[in-house]
Structure 1
Amino acid sequence: MAQRNPYYRYLDSKQAYYTSQHKPIFGGWLMACVFCRVVILRLVMLNVECSLTGVEIFLPFLLSLYEATSDNGSSSQQSNTAVSKTVRSSAMRYALLVGVFTVSAFASVSTSTPRSTYICPVTSYGSKLVPVSQFLGLFLDTGIIIGLSTVAQDGFESSRPKLLLGRLAFISAGALSIQAGLFILKNPEHMIWSFHLDSRIISDLLFATVFGSSFLASLVYLMSELRPSIPITVATCVSIYTYHFSTHTTEFWPSPSRSTVVLSSIAFLSMAGIVRLWREASRSQRSMSLNGTCSRFLVILFVFMSVLFLAKKSSLILHPSKLSKHPIDYLMSNAQHTSDQWRKQAATSQSLEQAVYEYQSRYGIPPPPNFDKWYEYATARGSLIIDDFEQINSDLLPFWAIEPAKIREMTAHMLERTWTDAGGLRIANGTSQLTPHVVPTHRWSLEGTSSIIKKFAQWLPDMDIAMNINDECRVAVPWRAMEDLKDRGTVARRQLNESKHFQPFSTNAHQLWPNTYMQAEPPYSPQTISEYFAEASIASSFTKYGVIGCPPKSPSLRTSWWNKGLFCADCTSPHALGPFLSNWTLSGSLCHQPDLKNLHGFHLSPSSFKPTTSLFPIFSQSKMPGFSDIVFPSPWNYVDKVTFDSSKSMAFSEKEKSVFWRGGTSEGYAAADNWEGMQRQRFVHLANYAQGSTKLNLLLPNNAQGTGYSYRSIPLSSVLSATNIDVSFVGGPVRCYDKECAAQAREFYFNTSTVDFQEHWKYKFLFDFDGAGFSGRFLPFLESSSLVFRAASFRQWFEERLTAWKDYVPVDTRLHDFWSLLAYFGGLGKNGEYAHEKEAERIAGQGREWAAKVLRKEDMEIYMFRLLLEWGRIVDDRRNELGFVLPPK
């Protein structure tokens, strides 16, 4: 640094006097500020979904304002010196420019940052206290930085500044530890979340710690030579630039508004003035002093950043998103084409001979024994699906890598221990019966499944099946282990083709299955646990089980989405066109969506969850993508737990134009304030607490002819006036600790009056959500001629038979597309301008007609029949010889 000017020599002497004469008071004041800041920081982080975006942008302005007023005060004492007027003028101009920069930057960031639907409770202190705490923390940050600057400029030759900084670090750590301890003592249910951190979270915390410590040390060092506002302003500018430049934009997302571009341009022009002042100061050695090298570097950096920034923003503003057709129109057209192609290849066979040939060509092995019985059963019941059962093939392929005896042993292991929450079905001598010791509350499920199997049990080999009695899926196998199982399974299947003579099922299969658990008393106590399963209920499942089946470089394995209040556009881009879901299959994958950790009850806190990371043969009614349960048709729908009464049917045009939903808080177990992220709660909150003045960016026609679409800012009240919203919980809060039950009771209206399920058919728009597992309402909804909006993470046996945007409207788990979907199908204003009701009626009709053809009870039987024929071959010791052979003509 160049020799310091008289103004700085005065400040040095002033600070030296202050710190030498008032060191104890100064140190105590600084430590108190640090302690209070840590308390506020923790409060904001616990309620980050309620926080304002970009509050810290004002930090450079407060620092420059302090410096300006401090300069004026010191200058008044030196009114006869030559530097007085220059110092005062430079400081005030600098503060003014920094003020313009921070205000415009804050406005551009806060108006362009998309929020997630994670709930900020309106009845809690968070929605009001957190923003106030943020601004209080901002003032504390200003004081702390000024104090650190004073310590740094006092010099590091002595040990006192170093000692003070060390004390501040210990105070910060102590404050956090005390708060954490008190919080856990008061809320013991948080214990599992606090002390069971996965390795990725720990690595993220370590990285943040090292990065934060390095940044703080560098900042303290710079402040020993520079005014504190200079490094803070540079850091703020770089952060804002990075945010704006990295903002996710595509042709299907709205371009930044003109006001955002104008505000961000003002911010950068203000920064140009600030850099110019720094440059001038470097020549005159007056306030805001920098040496020549630093100032030249900042000028070059600013010019480079400005050119890139303005080039990107100008291209977006000059070429805003203008689409020839609405993305939903494209998605519906593409869905029709995809559906037609799938349906053609799903039923190409017109005879048993063709079905056998098609099976061999698709899967590379001969069909299982009794395939002719299955074909006869399927065709006699008018099945439109003969050849495509890819779900069965993908579910069972890895089990070919496991010896049949080992599979039978694993099945017995589960059925011997009722703790594993598995109920058994024994198929023997052409009959199906329940094994003993089935939990009474879930007996209906196994009885329903048994009633499906009895229709064709005479053609099945003897076997035992372990059925998952819980709603949640269970089998989460790590990616590398699963890839190895699939490879070995493929090799094992090839060995089947080496057989010269294919044989029928073994006749003595029942003798091979363990029989101990069929006794009146189980061989193990019901409480006997299994070393292969874990009790993981009421704890986050995302990292430990949800994403372990992802490839190693998946975003969900490499990053964490910490800010629950912000929307992750990069997480949706692989499976969406702008706000609209375009790939239903890919949207279920957790591998590219780290933010889903906080946006579904199963990921946050499943109610009954006993998973395994070994490939156990568990049959489940549904599963999350990435899990390896064997999916079968749910008895819930087969035994008519909920049904569509056709006598209550109404034409779509006669239905009320409303979004209707009733349900309970049964998606996950509310604990540790996690209910704010559960999908059902987010939906009810979004539907009932929407502010009509909120501005939406909606794609609307450019003219009456609808020759093109572009984004326009429309008030939410316009959507609400076109379509009625009738959404609420029923009964009262369930599956929650007392504290969370009370919080939800305050936040939501719980409708105490019962609603007949058949009342749903009066409404045009029905939303379907997961519960603890799959939704049992979806199939009746499809039959009703209402338009079904489906937001499902759990996948069922029929996924490959239905096509999103043709048979139903897919909804992203985040629900950020909710209002855009309603605006498209329901229109705007009281007259429903721009409504696409014909398209809504067409999708509703197509879903109803196709469900009546391929989702019947007969189709459930056909699917289950084929699944168990395939499974019967896998668990047979002679599976390398088993196959169906066409009889000679």
Structure 2
Amino acid sequence: MYFLLIFLPFLLSLYEATSDNGSSSQQLNFAVSKTVRSNAMRYALLVGVFTVSAFATVSISTQRSTYICPVTGYGSKFVPISQFLGLLLDAGIIISLSTVAQDGFESSRPKLLLGRLAFISAGALSMQAGLFILRNPEHMIWSFHLDSRIICDLLFATVFGSSFLASVVYLMSELRPSIPVTVATCVSIYTYYFSTHTTESWPSPSRSTVVLSSIAFLSMAGIVRLWREASRSQRSMSLNGTCSRLLMILFVFMSVLFLAKKSSLILHTSKLSRHPIDYLMSNAQHTSDQWRKQAATSHSLEDAVYQYQSRYGVPPPPNFDKWYEYATARGSLIIDDFEQINNDLLPFWAIEPAKIREMTAHMLERTWTDAGGLRISNGSSRLTPHVVGTHRWSLDGTSSIINKFAQWLPDMDIAMNINDECRVAVPWKAMEDLKKRGRLARRQLNETKHLQPFSTHAHQLWPDTYMQAEPPYSPQTISEYFAEASIASSFTKYGVIGCPPKSPSLKISWWNKGFFCADCVSPHALGPFLSNWTLSGSLCHQPDLENLHGFHLSPSSFKPTTSLFPIFSQSKMPGFSDIVFPSPWNYVDKVTFDPSKGVAFSEKEKTVFWRGGTSEGYAGADNWEGMQRQRFVHLANYAQGSTRLDLILPTDAQGTDYSYRSIPLSSVLSATNIDVSFVGEPVRCYDKECAAQAREFYFNTSTVDFQEHWKYKYLFDFDGAGFSGRFMPFLESGSLVFRAASFRQWFEERLTAWKDYVPVDTRLHDVWSLLAYFGGLGKGGEYAHEKEAGKIAEAGKDWASKVLRKEDMEIYMFRLLLEWGG
């Protein structure tokens, strides 16, 4: 229904062919005669062929996003009707405008009438918008807090739209309304076709798309020919010589490009020698082997010191030998590669230690900033007095980690983020400058060529005001460096400010939430599958993600800063500058895998299993339709078996060639069971949005023991308000973990997508293709890759037991704080 306006030229041409006005000698279309009337009907029929074939082409070739179009909403049944009525209304308005325009612009009456109509329309729309906002106050934030990029887009659209309408009205004084509308429709469809069909596009264009687009193009050629004939013989189309020649030149130019495009698509082979996932798994194995080899090069303390200095360009911190002994005594397989720590701490090298202590004190003195403090002093760790009770367990858990090695740490205070969401979003230019100065500071220190002792100068002591029984500031005292940004879009103001200036997300707004953005996916994908896990986290080339994750749409608790404050967080979005540390959630066993409940992969049920809550973001202003958890549950439960999927399947029995084939979704659903639902009731939402989600989704009121997950082969893992605390026990369970995470944690460099888990794009457009590969098709599971599924599941379980242990969390935290304090 998005493309219903394609039929507008047909309605206009049909009106012109049947209207009495078409026979008026003063009308400038077809002459009044039986022959001309026949030509008019032939013209309308040809326009009809063009619109039908163009509509079919666009409908088939357009891939919808997983953004939810509610099934149970009050207005969902009336959307098709309202769109059809809108089409008729548009046709009526254009015909009326044509009539007014053809009365002649030498008189002021038509101009005055058009001005009044425009003024009345603007007033009616303004009143409608005002009433809507009064009835839905949650939309107030979006309506009156637009960022500069959206304002620029709206201004451009306003100027462009106004210019286009003015041009059309002017042309209607000389031409029948169907002519400019048909030209505009043709050019729009033509441009859309070229922007979505390339030889590298996924999926490759089907034969039906090529045939339909050719019919549309040929019918347009016939329409142009009729215009040409009419302008020559009857002058009834009022296409003067210049206008006629321009149309012919435009069509010839389009014809050349169209034929070239068709030739490239026909000549380009769509066959593959192997399935993309086979290639991705093979490449992942090689990447993992290479990383693991260089991650543990050292076999002695001297080797470790050399590796540290050569990799990071600075001497290791004091007590590095104690860390080395601690790590090796606990059997750490990773000694040399801690790139996450290096990246997190690099910009802080540009800041004076006294300034870092001042910023830490600033946060801990103001409980409003949602930062809890840990003081490491005299070889032990303890909480600062003013930690919020609901989050005390988190800091207690972190303190228990630190106390394992606190005797070797210098005295320090650290500010811990007690919220799930990350906090520090530094603009790109400022961050580049900090990194540059940080590298310079490290080069200067590296010239000393020896370990530096911890400084104990009195002027480097930590402030003490926030250790008092009463906080120095009231809980309501805000910080000028932090903003209250909860329950509002975070994407433009914070999410992408760390992107390079020419990044698409800084220039483009993805307005059409219902359409899939192929250009946003292609940099990190191979066909429908995610090929670069690290790059897939970047927001810089993915403007459409603004509408496809709860954190971007409406974070529940978000107090960000655009200055580089030293905040320690359990996870962060790529582009943010929080210092990531191992989460106490996993360390204190908030959720665990009980080995006694484990099941061998071959004995697990072939089922996709997921249970969870609507906790990803705060639902308001109709934004829950884009949240990842909601989209997944909707995708799983409202899947139409008749939907056609373009799947990569073998073309022969030997499986030596692969190509895209159109398969009904029912074939995937019959091979793999789907057991996906929300639990409890809608949370983190306004009343209206809670009610809307309650109507749209089934909320399972029965509780599920967490250990029940291990019975199923396929477990999907999603972000909550922040990182997912389930991922580590999922890996340990031996089930195949499908991971769709935007928040990144401390262990990212240790794990390899397609070897230890299956990566899933945030858009979820790849879900059915992934299940078709691993689970197969039909009741017999034809083309299933059970062996590959089991291999990834086993590899993830084995590697997690070696590098994601509690001991590994301690080792990471020890090194992080040693470098932070050094």
Quick one: distance in 2 between partners of 1:75 and 1:214?
Answer: 30
Q: What SS does the aligned partner of 2:414 have?
A: strand
Q: What SS does the aligned partner of 1:322 have?
A: coil
Q: Any idea what the Cα deviations from partners look like across 1:777-803, whole Å, max 9, x if unmatched?
A: 000000001000000000000000000
Bigger Rg, structure 1 or 2: 1
Whether contact under 8 Å (1:149, 1:223) holds in the other structure is yes
- CA deviation after TM superposition for structure 1 residue 343, in Å: 0.5
Aligned residue number for residue 369 of structure 1: 318
Structure 1 pair 503/696, CA: closer, same or farther in 2 (3 Å)?
A: closer
Q: Any idea what the Cα deviations from partners look like across 1:242-263, whole Å, max 9, x if unmatched?
A: 1111114354722211111111
Whether contact under 8 Å (2:30, 2:236) holds in the other structure is no
Quick one: distance in 1 between partners of 2:678 and 2:158?
Answer: 42
Whether contact under 8 Å (2:30, 2:237) holds in the other structure is no
Q: Compare 561-570 and 257-266 and name the one that shifted more.
A: 257-266
- CA deviation after TM superposition for structure 1 residue 155, in Å: 1.4
- CA deviation after TM superposition for structure 1 residue 80, in Å: 19
Quick one: distance in 1 between partners of 2:522 and 2:447?
Answer: 46
Quick one: distance in 2 between partners of 1:547 and 1:177?
Answer: 32
Q: Compare 738-747 and 65-74 and name the one that shifted more.
A: 65-74
- CA deviation after TM superposition for structure 1 residue 85, in Å: 2.0
Whether contact under 8 Å (2:102, 2:174) holds in the other structure is yes
Matches within 5 A, 1:122-133: 122-133=71-82
Structure 1 pair 81/440, CA: closer, same or farther in 2 (3 Å)?
A: closer
Q: Compare 546-555 and 498-507 and name the one that shifted more.
A: 498-507
Quick one: distance in 2 between partners of 1:740 and 1:551?
Answer: 36
Whether contact under 8 Å (2:23, 2:31) holds in the other structure is no
- CA deviation after TM superposition for structure 1 residue 286, in Å: 4.5
Give structure 1 regions of 4+ aligned residues with deviation exceeding 4 angstroms: 75-82, 508-511
Q: What SS does the aligned partner of 1:281 have?
A: helix
Q: Compare 190-199 and 240-249 and name the one that shifted more.
A: 240-249
- CA deviation after TM superposition for structure 1 residue 626, in Å: 0.3
Whether contact under 8 Å (1:255, 1:320) holds in the other structure is no
Q: Structure 2 unaligned runs (5+)?
A: 1-5
Q: What SS does the aligned partner of 1:366 have?
A: coil
Whether contact under 8 Å (2:28, 2:235) holds in the other structure is no
Q: Any idea what the Cα deviations from partners look like across 1:487-519, whole Å, max 9, x if unmatched?
A: 111111122123376431123579611101101
Quick one: distance in 2 between partners of 1:816 and 1:221?
Answer: 44
State TM-score, norm by structure 1. 0.90
Whether contact under 8 Å (1:605, 1:669) holds in the other structure is yes
Whether contact under 8 Å (1:650, 1:761) holds in the other structure is yes
- CA deviation after TM superposition for structure 1 residue 83, in Å: 3.8
Quick one: distance in 1 between partners of 2:758 and 2:768?
Answer: 13
Match of 2:627 among 675, 678, 681: 678
Structure 1 pair 634/67, CA: closer, same or farther in 2 (3 Å)?
A: same
Structure 1 pair 690/395, CA: closer, same or farther in 2 (3 Å)?
A: same
Q: What SS does the aligned partner of 1:246 have?
A: helix
Whether contact under 8 Å (1:254, 1:321) holds in the other structure is no
Q: What SS does the aligned partner of 1:619 have?
A: strand
Q: Any idea what the Cα deviations from partners look like across 1:697-738, whole Å, max 9, x if unmatched?
A: 100001110011001110000000000000000001000011
Quick one: distance in 1 between partners of 2:612 and 2:135?
Answer: 31
Structure 1 pair 511/403, CA: closer, same or farther in 2 (3 Å)?
A: closer
- CA deviation after TM superposition for structure 1 residue 148, in Å: 1.0
Structure 1 pair 252/113, CA: closer, same or farther in 2 (3 Å)?
A: closer
Quick one: distance in 1 between partners of 2:689 and 2:790?
Answer: 40
Structure 1 pair 287/649, CA: closer, same or farther in 2 (3 Å)?
A: same
Whether contact under 8 Å (2:29, 2:238) holds in the other structure is no
Quick one: distance in 2 between partners of 1:861 and 1:631?
Answer: 14
- CA deviation after TM superposition for structure 1 residue 265, in Å: 0.8
Matches within 5 A, 1:191-340: 191-251=140-200, 253-340=202-289
Q: What SS does the aligned partner of 1:101 have?
A: helix
Q: What SS does the aligned partner of 1:237 have?
A: helix
Structure 1 pair 589/64, CA: closer, same or farther in 2 (3 Å)?
A: same
Structure 1 pair 500/557, CA: closer, same or farther in 2 (3 Å)?
A: closer
Structure 1 pair 615/75, CA: closer, same or farther in 2 (3 Å)?
A: closer
Whether contact under 8 Å (1:661, 1:726) holds in the other structure is yes
Quick one: distance in 2 between partners of 1:83 and 1:776?
Answer: 76
Whether contact under 8 Å (1:248, 1:569) holds in the other structure is no
Match of 2:512 among 553, 556, 563: 563
- The answer on 1:426 being equivalent to 2:384 is no
Whether contact under 8 Å (2:369, 2:478) holds in the other structure is yes
Whether contact under 8 Å (1:255, 1:317) holds in the other structure is no
Quick one: distance in 2 between partners of 1:236 and 1:627?
Answer: 43
- CA deviation after TM superposition for structure 1 residue 175, in Å: 1.9
Whether contact under 8 Å (1:63, 1:142) holds in the other structure is yes
Q: What SS does the aligned partner of 1:790 have?
A: strand
Q: What SS does the aligned partner of 1:414 have?
A: helix
For these two proteins, the number of residue pairs brought into alignment is 815
- CA deviation after TM superposition for structure 1 residue 184, in Å: 1.1
Aligned residue number for residue 182 of structure 1: 131
Q: Any idea what the Cα deviations from partners look like across 1:417-458, whole Å, max 9, x if unmatched?
A: 000000000000001000001000000000000000000000
- CA deviation after TM superposition for structure 1 residue 315, in Å: 2.8
- CA deviation after TM superposition for structure 1 residue 304, in Å: 1.9
Whether contact under 8 Å (1:75, 1:87) holds in the other structure is no
Whether contact under 8 Å (2:224, 2:248) holds in the other structure is yes
- CA deviation after TM superposition for structure 1 residue 74, in Å: 3.3
- CA deviation after TM superposition for structure 1 residue 79, in Å: 18
Whether contact under 8 Å (2:104, 2:173) holds in the other structure is yes
Quick one: distance in 1 between partners of 2:17 and 2:504?
Answer: 46
- CA deviation after TM superposition for structure 1 residue 76, in Å: 12
Structure 1 pair 500/598, CA: closer, same or farther in 2 (3 Å)?
A: closer
Whether contact under 8 Å (1:461, 1:509) holds in the other structure is no
Q: Any idea what the Cα deviations from partners look like across 1:267-298, whole Å, max 9, x if unmatched?
A: 11111111111110111124434112222221
Aligned residue number for residue 135 of structure 1: 84
Whether contact under 8 Å (1:117, 1:814) holds in the other structure is yes
Quick one: distance in 1 between partners of 2:534 and 2:314?
Answer: 27
- CA deviation after TM superposition for structure 1 residue 579, in Å: 0.7
Q: Compare 634-643 and 500-509 and name the one that shifted more.
A: 500-509
- The answer on 1:156 being equivalent to 2:105 is yes
- CA deviation after TM superposition for structure 1 residue 394, in Å: 0.5
Q: Any idea what the Cα deviations from partners look like across 1:136-177, whole Å, max 9, x if unmatched?
A: 111111111111111111111121111122122222321221
Whether contact under 8 Å (1:384, 1:854) holds in the other structure is yes
- The answer on 1:537 being equivalent to 2:486 is yes
Q: Any idea what the Cα deviations from partners look like across 1:294-316, whole Å, max 9, x if unmatched?
A: 22221222122122113212432
Quick one: distance in 2 between partners of 1:175 and 1:550?
Answer: 40
Quick one: distance in 1 between partners of 2:9 and 2:497?
Answer: 43
Q: Any idea what the Cα deviations from partners look like across 1:738-769, whole Å, max 9, x if unmatched?
A: 10000000000000000000000000000000
Q: What SS does the aligned partner of 1:767 have?
A: strand
Quick one: distance in 2 between partners of 1:82 and 1:587?
Answer: 60
Structure 1 pair 369/80, CA: closer, same or farther in 2 (3 Å)?
A: closer
Q: Any idea what the Cα deviations from partners look like across 1:527-570, whole Å, max 9, x if unmatched?
A: 11101000000000000000000001100000000000000000
Whether contact under 8 Å (1:463, 1:510) holds in the other structure is no
Quick one: distance in 1 between partners of 2:605 and 2:306?
Answer: 50
Structure 1 pair 832/150, CA: closer, same or farther in 2 (3 Å)?
A: same
Whether contact under 8 Å (1:414, 1:466) holds in the other structure is yes
Whether contact under 8 Å (1:120, 1:676) holds in the other structure is yes
Quick one: distance in 1 between partners of 2:499 and 2:79?
Answer: 36
Q: Compare 175-184 and 781-790 and name the one that shifted more.
A: 175-184
Structure 1 pair 299/334, CA: closer, same or farther in 2 (3 Å)?
A: same
Q: What SS does the aligned partner of 2:25 have?
A: helix
Match of 2:342 among 363, 379, 393: 393
Quick one: distance in 2 between partners of 1:63 and 1:509?
Answer: 85
Quick one: distance in 2 between partners of 1:77 and 1:517?
Answer: 87
Whether contact under 8 Å (1:475, 1:616) holds in the other structure is yes
Q: Any idea what the Cα deviations from partners look like across 1:587-619, whole Å, max 9, x if unmatched?
A: 000000000000000000000000000000000
Structure 1 pair 510/784, CA: closer, same or farther in 2 (3 Å)?
A: farther
- The answer on 1:773 being equivalent to 2:737 is no
Q: What SS does the aligned partner of 1:323 have?
A: coil
Q: Compare 446-455 and 145-154 and name the one that shifted more.
A: 145-154
Quick one: distance in 1 between partners of 2:754 and 2:686?
Answer: 39
Whether contact under 8 Å (2:668, 2:768) holds in the other structure is yes
Identity of matched residues, %: 91
Q: What SS does the aligned partner of 1:423 have?
A: strand
